[in-house]
Structure 1
Amino acid sequence: MYDMRKPLPVWEDLSTLSINREPEHATLIPYADIESALESERGLSPYFRLLSGNWKFHYAPSPAETPEGFEQESYNVSEWDTIPVPSNWQMLGYGKPNYTNVAYPFPVDPPFVPDENPVGSYRRNFMIPENWKDRQVFLVFEGVDSAFMVWVNGKMVGYSKGSHLPSEFNITPFIRIGENTIAVQVYQWSDGSYLEDQDKWRLSGIFRDVYLFATPDVHIRDVHIKTKLDEQYINAVLDVKINVKNYAKEKSDGYQIVATLVDDSKNTVFERAYDEVLSLNGDEEKELRMSFDVSNPKKWTAETPNLYTLLVTLKDSTGAIQEVESFNVGFRQVEIKDGKLLVNGTPIKIKGVNRHDTHPDLGYAVTIESMIQDITLMKQHNINAVRTSHYPNDPRWLDLCDRYGLYVIDETDLEAHGFAFTGNVSQLACDPAWKEAFIDRARRMVHRDKNHPSVIIWSLGNESGYGPNHDAMAEWIRTVDTTRPIHYEGAFDSPVMDIVSVMYPRVDYLIEQGEKINDPRPFFMCEYAHAMGNGPGNLKEYWDAIYKYPRLLGGCVWEWVDHGIRQKTESGEEWFAYGGDFGDKPNDGNFCIDGLMFPDRRPYPGVIELKKAIEPVQVYPVDLLKGQVKIVNRYNFLSLEHLEASWAVMCDGDAVQQGTLPVLHTPAGQEELLTIPYSCPTPKPGAEYWLNITFALREATIWAPKGHIVAWSQFKLPLEVPKIPVIKISSMPPLKWNETDRELAISGEDFRLVFDKFRGTIASLEYQGVPMVSKGPKINIWRAPTDNDVHQAREWIKAGLDRLVPRIEDIEVQSHKSQAIKVRVQSVLGPYSIAPAFRSVVTYTIYGTGDIIITTDLSPLKELPHLPRIGLQMRMPGQFDRFAWYGRGPHENYIDRKESALVGVYEGTVEEQYVPYIRPQEYGNKSDVRWASVTDIRGYGLLVVGMPTLNVSVQQYSTEDLTSANHTYELKRLDETVLNMDYEHGGLGSNSCGPGPLPQYQLQPVDTSFSVRIRPFARSIWTPARLSKLMPEIL
């Protein structure tokens, strides 16, 4: 055990980055033969042993309370708990998870950490097989948070820190053939924790794989692969640097290195031995350099992830294979020219996301299945890049990125954001005492990941201020690798950086940067479009600017997936926890619930909008009456032969013509005019005609099946459509009515309506004896704040928009002959405690047909912030649980997040419209709705018709509950259906951590007038589409 009497424990000793840790190198697994090396499955190697699995575990609140002598083989751990490795101990009930974004969860007094510093002690036995005799044996930890010591058979082996980085130890002197014991002690906090203040749950333990590998005494210690293309980007040079070390004390002679390149069909491209036979003295390491010309290899890009395999074989003096190392090789070249980032000579755009290693049940201990799910979903949503925020991800993630095709911004495990609260966020970056710790983290990342073709940018970390220590990191990286640019947002436009980087810029600022001509570097948004809750908005405007200006590199949406931790209520209802739910302090609440995906990888509506914004094929109208459109191929390397283009002419939601286009050959980055062979239909009165175009995969890929849609467009055909004649009031059935001081009762042939004059709204509405209204329409300005409304909602509440109540000033009833009645209600709307906010006039026109036209005129009475919404809300009995609409869908959409939603006819249940945002909030809106219907199982219900369009949503929960609830399980489902009929919503924006809605999407408090038509009906008599066109004469 470590002697606590020493003045500075090792976990607080800044000068001790490690003890006995091996020098960094690329990920290596020695294989016994060529065949198994080509499979590149580490389990096939007889010289690999995975130590992940069940370990014995002891949890102590502090280092002073750890079990003395537990590392000794004689120490009895049979009564200890059993814990799976990899895992985080907080996820298993030891201590508690703590979520904080910026603030350190301990006093900021570097390098010191609290005395109450929980410690996990691990033990297990492992076997060393007979065929490992006389070999060097190495122990690898791929990730341990935050610092740890390791013993083998009771002997101290070493110490390391740097949670998301590999630590390797040579344990040859400590092991024996047969059974051995390994002991590990992990400290929750260390001086390294000051460099790991990332926006994440603070979790501890051995969270990535632990394994052994065995090598001969003379061993390939490292391999560094570089590819360079010629000026035409056709032919390549493959440069390989190989480090061979003799771990024995005696000299070794006669060794030979052979390099073999194999293509994806397992054909040998070349095989060549190093020019010299190796002779190494004891403990000597030699560096070999080999260079190979490769004629026109298949190139690697995110769109064309062509991989080769490089085998580096070590043979002894008899020619016998001693070991074979296997590496993915992607022939690609990364450059910056004229403000653009080039891959293989072609400018690219980063259509990326930020990704943490996170799992709702396992914390940091992500499984390969979860990683495959992530990369599959990313590719299916047109994402081409990932920033490993804010640390190197699991090494298997990079293998997947190589294979599936994703560009990687590989980020150093370094963030010191919490120093912002001490007044100097750059404190550690400017402190020479921390320089080696900064460099150590960059060095370990670069050496681990340097051979991955998917890694195209190195990042120096995140939100750590900026200072000389960052410059020293960049300087060190350039001594090892000049093939990739270096990025760090905290440095902004420092000349040390190759890329200018920002977070969450406004669109107008982005355009300013795009227009700059005096900076030859690309401009990159390492974080933008904060995808927290119901959002983000205005992705289209970002990407319009990115495509327009060559200097704009693109960006990475924050972030890929929510960090919620799965929990269950006593009744078994599943929910996801966030900061504070475990009593953790400090915490940043639900700020970790900010992904495009739910924690369990169900997609949010926002990711569909992103898929549309970054789609690889865009279509623009040229002459729609002639079927002429312009196709723009946004791929950087692929032509369009791999896609099948289909089209359909839709009339009010029904396909009236459709077809498939011939194979398109539009080259990458080019455009062409195309004529779609439809004939302009003869318009039906009142009909709308749309042209829909989709692009789908012709063949299956590893990330999507055949027929997967990658892009889609829709255009309204500019036809001269005859108007449908309105229904004259004189032709309508007569009405009967009875008026008292309290109510107005109106009856038609098949409906009865009661108007409550005290409340100024409909009290009841029956159709063929079926009650359809439980609460009549009322003006609604409030919405349950979205996460992106968080700042603006304070202004809304200050203005009283969450608690407006009406005071009726006047009600006027007028009849028109006997076929229509008009009720005009004038009111003032105000909150308690402060002055009124609006004057309203709501006019209900009830026709003999059963139609009710509600016209709302709204005028602000004082200066107000821009508004959440303007509309009407009513309730129907709960059995009205079927919803259909002709508008944008099928997913939720809003004014600044509707490009992905095609206009069409959709239907489902009210329950299916619910988006279970982890912190409840506004959900379910459908924009540009022509008509909507809410019906019961028999087809009775209400038709809602826009005049001409409106926003409609149906909800199972009250706006009040959605506003006040903190978690989904707190919501109480109504026995009613809430029907919202809105003139408009304010935009969503991304103001939880970014800009608010663009001005054109803000709902201003100005005089507003809108109308909506409702009508009770039965589907057995009318279809909603047909009934929507039967417009009564306007009074």
Structure 2
Amino acid sequence: KEVFIHFAGVNSAFYIWINGVKVGYSEGSKTPAEFNITNHIKKGKNTLMLQVIRWSDGTYLEDQDFWRLSGIERDVFLYAQPKVALRDFFVKTNLSKDLKTSDFNIDIDIRNYNNSDSKIKVRSKLYDDKSQLIQTFDKDIDVKSLSILKANLNEEILEPILWSAEQPNLYYLTTTLIQDGKETQAIGQQIGFRRIELDGGQVLVNNQPILFKGVNRHEHDEFTGHVVSNESMLRDIEIMKQNNINAVRTSHYPNDPHWYELCNKYGIYVIDEANVESHGFGYEKENTPAFKPEFDAMHMDRWVRMVERDKNHPSIIMWSLGNEAGDGPIFVKGYDWLKDYDKSRLVFYERTSDRIDLKKMGINLKPHTDFLGWMYKTMNELRREYLGRFPYRPFIWAEYSHAMGNSNGNIADLWEMVYKERQMQGGFIWDFVDQGLADYTKDGKKYWKYGGDFSPSTYHNDTNFCMNGLVNTDRTFHPAMAEIKKVYQNVRFSLQKSVRSISVKLDNQYFFTDLNEFDFEYELLKDGEVVENGSFDIDLRPQSSKSIDIPVSKNLLNEIQIKGYVQKLHDYHLNMYGFLSNSKNLIPSGHLILNEQLVIQESRVGNKLSNSSKSLNVDLNNDLIKIYNEKVAFVFNKSSGEMDSYTVKGREFIDKAPYLNFWRAPIDNDYGNQLPVRSKEWKVASNKRNLKSFNHEILGNNVKVSVQYELANIKSLYTTTFLINPEGEVKISNEFRYNGRLVDAEIPRFGMNLQIPNNYSNVSWYGRGPHENYIDRKDSAFMGIYESSVGELGFDYSRPQENGYRTGTKWLELKDNNGVGIKILGDPYISFSAHYNTIEDFDDGLRENKPGEKASPRSRIIKKQRKPVDITKRDFISLNIDLKQMGIGGDNSWGARPLLKYLIQPGNLKYSFTIKPIY
């Protein structure tokens, strides 16, 4: 027999010796290398030796944003073949336009290692997913000695069951060689019938203009780096399927071969990307390897090896020529070769000369991508540069919604544009998993290291710029995953106008799935509490709509329609849920796949202090004013204007007085767009406040305290009033009158911060939840009543930053284990967060840079709090009670800001809230 050794992936290059004899060399870290070692081995013990080279000339084309790790990254194995062997095959399924029949072609390479001619039979059998034989192909072949013969088997398959990510129906093909009546070799392959084409400016799969609800995915493990196990790959697929992710771009290299088998089996659309990235050179003609002929063979070698390895996987519906590798004639050549060799798939390259920036560099080549996917293009940029200009090529973001730290804001807005614009077909979020490496503190707490943790700060590193995932390195979810699942879901729900019922329209946006695969339930909520619920079934074919009436009781319907619409005293929300009926493709039976909250009515009633027959006393001295009775006491410092104490029945509710706050701990996107520099005056504004006036007045049984400050650096005034009643309730109102002249300096947040004793750690609220949410990432956070603890409200991003926020809150309670505490009511809404740490604890400050450099996400982190484990828990609770906080953004992390509608521009602002004691 002929004996081969197979290296599935070695980074970056290697030499191989067998028994002291050099056998060969290979480079290209992410595609296999095989060596015929038949003439180098002997019976008994043999010696295999590798020299693995960390840096090679191939490294210039492997400049991806990931860890610089080297070594044997994938499987190494031996296998033997007969002297007449099937060396390769290419299965081509050419579906008819009506999808009813398919040509089934198998191109086979047979090699004869013998010195004599051979007669063999090739037999292929096609089985369905129930192992029933569908078709048999036989062919007798004469193979000349020491030659390679190309043979073809061809049949027509009638009524094939089609493969798609929604319905990944697979067949199985076996091919055997028969010589002298005996089977000498057998191989098998998953087969899927699907039709992929570009038609009318859209990508069609099985005649449907599918939407790519995708992610980019690096191969990464928290302990083994680039070595990923089969179990880890399966877990990634499971997460994707259970969160409505239907597509993966193998950024930025061909993945482990087992990955494609899982995508075939469970249903994931794949853009298979070549291991070609050279962005370190730049993209100018004179710099990029794409214009250097000495790199041409290297480019082509990587494209050919990727395609030859992966060509039989039905999940791969597109080839990608690489990532951020400039553009040049070799990419045109590669595109042409691929289109000729594999006519069943599309070919993509993001950085073609269709891009305006490359045209400005004088690069203008013939079109060589089947669709456009300019990464991180904003909606406004797409309106200017794409819409109406490329009628025959669709747009699919190769990368978008950069998930670095607390991010993925305005993802719902992006998808509203996708649904509106016919030629926009989705995109691939950057990216799926944080690329951290696990380590432990001395007391056993796990954390993830990133750039700069393995070398002195004088060495170049990218800090946390590889921590861009929707999931942590251990595959636990970031809060944004809930939003992605919601935005990526394939059914839309909308209320229909009706005077006699609550009618809901369901739009089935699946392309190949009927809604009879789901069990539907609904809940009707009044002020956050479920008052009625039920279930329903619906048969609704793909890409169709139907309205249903929700069977609400007549009394409740009358209350909503008669009382509600006139007075609007209550909130009414309708929650819709869709659960998978039967287990399918790693999604268990009963798993929630679809959900929506529909607003029937929102109350706009403000909060007032309770009426009380009791009275309050007022004591004055030089520095303090005390407002009290036998149950409650408020103490104000007249020289600072601050409320220093708030006690009810002897219990103190504040450790530090509430003050007006304009700042948040910068998120990674903030550093990218220079917010800490541009808006630095807002960070210190409250610290530079000067008391202008302090007054109090008695209003019946209540006492009103008014405090006015001037913000010296902003040159603006704000007034805070405290309206106190004898029951210990206080309504706090803030009015900010902006008179500054700041330029390009949005306000990160507008609210108050105070510190309360740490025993008030049990949290419940009526608002958006249960998970973290922001004004531009809240569609998945439904209005409801939720319970948590202060410790569970936050989220530990790999680099400490703003986290744990909740918006749309009507009331908030913080209580101790005895049920004593405070209730905060919005007027009508507040947003809040609560931590055992201050904002400053999460704030990295201004980044240090070399002279002339701008601060960016890759700039050096300067504080000691590089990781959540570096932050020490405080002995109090820092509570933020806000009107609002600006959005988090996420179009990119190196300049993009939140959408204009999610910013807080300098101007007049006011809001109020009420604190009531619970005892």
* TM-based fold match above 0.5: yes
Structure 2 residue aligned with 1:717: 600
TM-aligned CA distance change 1:324 to 1:654, over 3 Å: same
TM-aligned CA distance change 1:423 to 1:242, over 3 Å: closer
Structure 1 residue aligned with 2:447: 575
Instruction: Measure, in 1, the Cα distance between the counterparts of 2:770 and 2:377.
Output: 30
671-680 vs 357-366, greater mean Cα deviation: 671-680
Q: Of 898, 903, 906, which residue of structure 2 is paired with 1:1005?
A: 906
1:419–1:425: 8 Å Cα contact kept in structure 2?
no
Structure 1 residue aligned with 2:489: 615
Q: Of 681, 684, 688, which residue of structure 2 is paired with 1:799?
A: 681
2:578–2:593: 8 Å Cα contact kept in structure 1?
yes
Per-residue Cα deviation, 1:173-209 (whole angstroms, up to 9, x for no partner): 1112332211111010000000000000100000111
Per-residue Cα deviation, 1:809-849 (whole angstroms, up to 9, x for no partner): 110111112x211111111224xxxx335321011111122
Summarize the alignment of residues 509-908 of structure 1 with structure 2, pairs less than 5 Å apart.
Answer: 509-512=381-384, 515-516=387-388, 518-583=390-455, 585-623=459-497, 626-662=501-537, 664-679=538-553, 680=557, 682=559, 686-718=569-601, 729=611, 731-790=612-671, 791-802=673-684, 804-805=686-687, 806-817=689-700, 819-830=701-712, 835-864=713-742, 865-908=745-788
Structure 1 residue aligned with 2:278: 416
1:425–1:465: 8 Å Cα contact kept in structure 2?
no
Structure 2 residue aligned with 1:238: 104
Summarize the alignment of residues 103-252 of structure 1 with structure 2, pairs less than 5 Å apart.
Answer: 135-248=1-114, 250-252=115-117
Instruction: Measure, in 2, the Cα distance between the counterparts of 1:237 and 1:945.
Output: 68
Shift of 1:768: 2.1
1:418–1:425: 8 Å Cα contact kept in structure 2?
no
Shift of 1:513: 6.0
SS at match of 2:290: coil
Q: Of 350, 355, 358, which residue of structure 2 is paired with 1:489?
A: 350
User: Is structure 2 residue 326 aligned with structure 1 residue 465?
Assistant: yes
Structure 2 residue aligned with 1:397: 259
Structure 1 residue aligned with 2:313: 452
Per-residue Cα deviation, 1:193-243 (whole angstroms, up to 9, x for no partner): 000000001000001110111110111110101111112112222111111
Q: How many pairs are equivalent? A: 871
Shift of 1:623: 2.0
SS at match of 2:733: strand
Instruction: Measure, in 2, the Cα distance between the counterparts of 1:495 and 1:973.
Output: 57
Gaps of 5+ in 2: 355-365, 845-864
Structure 2 residue aligned with 1:309: 172
Instruction: Measure, in 2, the Cα distance between the counterparts of 1:816 and 1:362.
Output: 69
User: Is structure 2 residue 129 aligned with structure 1 residue 264?
Assistant: yes
1:401–1:407: 8 Å Cα contact kept in structure 2?
yes
Instruction: Measure, in 2, the Cα distance between the counterparts of 1:837 and 1:870.
Output: 17
Instruction: Measure, in 2, the Cα distance between the counterparts of 1:457 and 1:789.
Output: 35
One-letter amino acid matched to 2:543? G
One-letter amino acid matched to 2:517? H
Instruction: Measure, in 1, the Cα distance between the counterparts of 2:715 and 2:313.
Output: 60
One-letter amino acid matched to 1:328? Q
Structure 1 residue aligned with 2:187: 325
1:416–1:425: 8 Å Cα contact kept in structure 2?
no
Structure 2 residue aligned with 1:117: none
SS at match of 1:475: helix
1:535–1:988: 8 Å Cα contact kept in structure 2?
yes
Gaps of 5+ in 1: 1-134, 1019-1035
2:679–2:747: 8 Å Cα contact kept in structure 1?
no
Shift of 1:800: 4.9
Instruction: Measure, in 2, the Cα distance between the counterparts of 1:332 and 1:974.
Output: 58
Structure 2 residue aligned with 1:943: 823
User: Is structure 2 residue 829 aligned with structure 1 residue 967?
Assistant: no
Shift of 1:724: 9.6
TM-aligned CA distance change 1:308 to 1:828, over 3 Å: same
1:147–1:188: 8 Å Cα contact kept in structure 2?
yes
One-letter amino acid matched to 1:431? K
Shift of 1:737: 2.3
Instruction: Measure, in 2, the Cα distance between the counterparts of 1:677 and 1:426.
Output: 67
Instruction: Measure, in 2, the Cα distance between the counterparts of 1:604 and 1:871.
Output: 26
Instruction: Measure, in 2, the Cα distance between the counterparts of 1:646 and 1:1000.
Output: 34
Structure 2 residue aligned with 1:52: none
Shift of 1:722: 11
Summarize the alignment of residues 79-98 of structure 1 with structure 2, pairs less than 5 Å apart.
Answer: none
SS at match of 1:202: coil
One-letter amino acid matched to 2:632? F
One-letter amino acid matched to 1:595? G
Per-residue Cα deviation, 1:290-310 (whole angstroms, up to 9, x for no partner): 112111111000000011101
Summarize the alignment of residues 22-37 of structure 1 with structure 2, pairs less than 5 Å apart.
Answer: none
1:529–1:994: 8 Å Cα contact kept in structure 2?
no
Per-residue Cα deviation, 1:353-384 (whole angstroms, up to 9, x for no partner): 00000111110001111111111101111001
Instruction: Measure, in 2, the Cα distance between the counterparts of 1:377 and 1:203.
Output: 26
Per-residue Cα deviation, 1:318-348 (whole angstroms, up to 9, x for no partner): x211111100100001100011000011111
Shift of 1:723: 6.7
1:186–1:205: 8 Å Cα contact kept in structure 2?
yes
2:173–2:189: 8 Å Cα contact kept in structure 1?
yes
Per-residue Cα deviation, 1:68-102 (whole angstroms, up to 9, x for no partner): xxxxxxxxxxxxxxxxxxxxxxxxxxxxxxxxxxx
TM-aligned CA distance change 1:546 to 1:716, over 3 Å: same
1:511–1:545: 8 Å Cα contact kept in structure 2?
no
One-letter amino acid matched to 1:945? L
765-774 vs 511-520, greater mean Cα deviation: 511-520
SS at match of 1:590: coil
SS at match of 2:683: coil
SS at match of 1:429: helix
TM-aligned CA distance change 1:271 to 1:783, over 3 Å: same
Shift of 1:424: 5.4
Shift of 1:726: 5.6
Per-residue Cα deviation, 1:483-525 (whole angstroms, up to 9, x for no partner): 1111111105351211112011111233456741653011121
2:570–2:601: 8 Å Cα contact kept in structure 1?
no
SS at match of 1:561: coil
One-letter amino acid matched to 1:466? D
Per-residue Cα deviation, 1:78-131 (whole angstroms, up to 9, x for no partner): xxxxxxxxxxxxxxxxxxxxxxxxxxxxxxxxxxxxxxxxxxxxxxxxxxxxxx
1:528–1:994: 8 Å Cα contact kept in structure 2?
no
Instruction: Measure, in 2, the Cα distance between the counterparts of 1:456 and 1:513.
Output: 26
SS at match of 2:474: coil
Instruction: Measure, in 1, the Cα distance between the counterparts of 2:82 and 2:596.
Output: 60
177-186 vs 163-172, greater mean Cα deviation: 177-186
Shift of 1:289: 1.0
Shift of 1:757: 2.1
One-letter amino acid matched to 1:569? T
Instruction: Measure, in 1, the Cα distance between the counterparts of 2:160 and 2:706.
Output: 77
Shift of 1:172: 0.7
2:607–2:825: 8 Å Cα contact kept in structure 1?
no
Structure 2 residue aligned with 1:293: 156
Instruction: Measure, in 1, the Cα distance between the counterparts of 2:498 and 2:870.
Output: 51
1:609–1:897: 8 Å Cα contact kept in structure 2?
yes
One-letter amino acid matched to 1:234? K
Per-residue Cα deviation, 1:967-1008 (whole angstroms, up to 9, x for no partner): 112111111111110111111111414632111111111100
SS at match of 1:930: strand
Instruction: Measure, in 1, the Cα distance between the counterparts of 2:383 and 2:307.
Output: 33
SS at match of 1:1005: coil
